[in-house]
Amino acid sequence: MIRILANDGIAANGQQLLEDAGFEVDTKKIPQDELMTKLNDYDAIIVRSATKVRKDLIDASPNLKAILRGGVGIDNIDHEYAESKGIPTYNTPAASSDAVAELVFGHFFALSRFLHRSNRELTATDGDFNKLKKAYGEGQQLRGRTLAIIGFGRIGIAAARIGLGLGMKVLPVDLYKDSDTVKLSFADGRDIDFKLDTVPLDEAISQADYITIHVPGGNLIGTEEIGKMKDGVIIANTSRGGVINEDALLQALNSGKIAGAALDVFVGEPTPRRDLLEHPRLSVSPHIGAATGEAQDNIGVELFEKIRDHFGKQ
């Protein structure tokens, strides 16, 4: 029987599908420092972001036949080395796109109407209703604004779908494609396709009122790029910590160049820097982009399909 270690967990539907197909699934968490001696008891490992599968662990697990990531990025896996040893790495890029995109817009709405601050301050024991009503009475609407989407893959397209639905002008940026199609589906069964051409990064960020980033990593936004943005821009990062330089971001928040920023990911996870977390222009969440019941169920199904197809070829 094929044994699978779901070390960072798996949705119940995915586990059930695997077990019904004859796989043995172990969901008991093995600490990182114990995996060196225990992973070789399994044929495959499923991780999210917590567990690292590095070269030394791969070398210590010659029975390992597949590595799976329940999510999009695979930066916590030495996947190229694993491939060189004949061990493929799989992820689930389609499962959580809508969940991440919706989180972005949750932050955009919060920042645009100061919900991230008024929610806390009004419920405080000394919350002054009339004072807060005046302080937070100059919000802005998203309709008619320009949205730059940096990284026009599945999540970027999902974000474009929401932006178009809200009546925003969408400027996608991507290094690998000149255009892509965004499909809007309506409850009455109609579908409308929008073909969007990509534009250079400088063009997008100089025109944008809102910016959302969906790239696998790298140092993308720093002082130079922020200087090219509109005054009062709102920016979100739900991709990887460090894609926006945190020092440059803090400086721009302090000056008001960036009116608001949303961060779901941080350089110092799980202990992000306090001067960012406590900044009044920042809306934060604890790396929960894919953390919806629907997304986790989708991930469970996709993991099952990847494992079924892989071991079906053995």
- Cα–Cα distance between 24 and 230 in angstroms, integer? 54
- Starting at the edge strand that comes first in sequence, how are the strands of the sheet with 258-263 ordered? 169-173, 146-150, 210-213, 233-237, 258-263, 282-284
Among the listed residues 34, 224, 269, 294, the single catalytic one is 269
287 is catalytic: yes
240 is catalytic: yes
241 near 265, Cβ under 8 Å? Answer: yes
Closest residue by Cα to residue 292 from 158, 103, 48? 103
Phi, psi of 184 (to 5 degrees): -100, 125
- Cα–Cα distance between 300 and 305 in angstroms, integer? 9
Among the listed residues 240, 246, 281, 302, the single catalytic one is 240
* DSSP 8-state secondary structure symbol assigned to residue 257: S
* Gap between the terminal Cα atoms of the chain: 13
Instruction: Name 289's Cβ contacts closer than 8 Å, sequence gap at least 6.
Output: 96, 99, 100, 103, 238, 264, 265
225 is catalytic: no
Among the listed residues 107, 117, 287, 302, the single catalytic one is 287
Catalytic residue list: 240, 269, 287
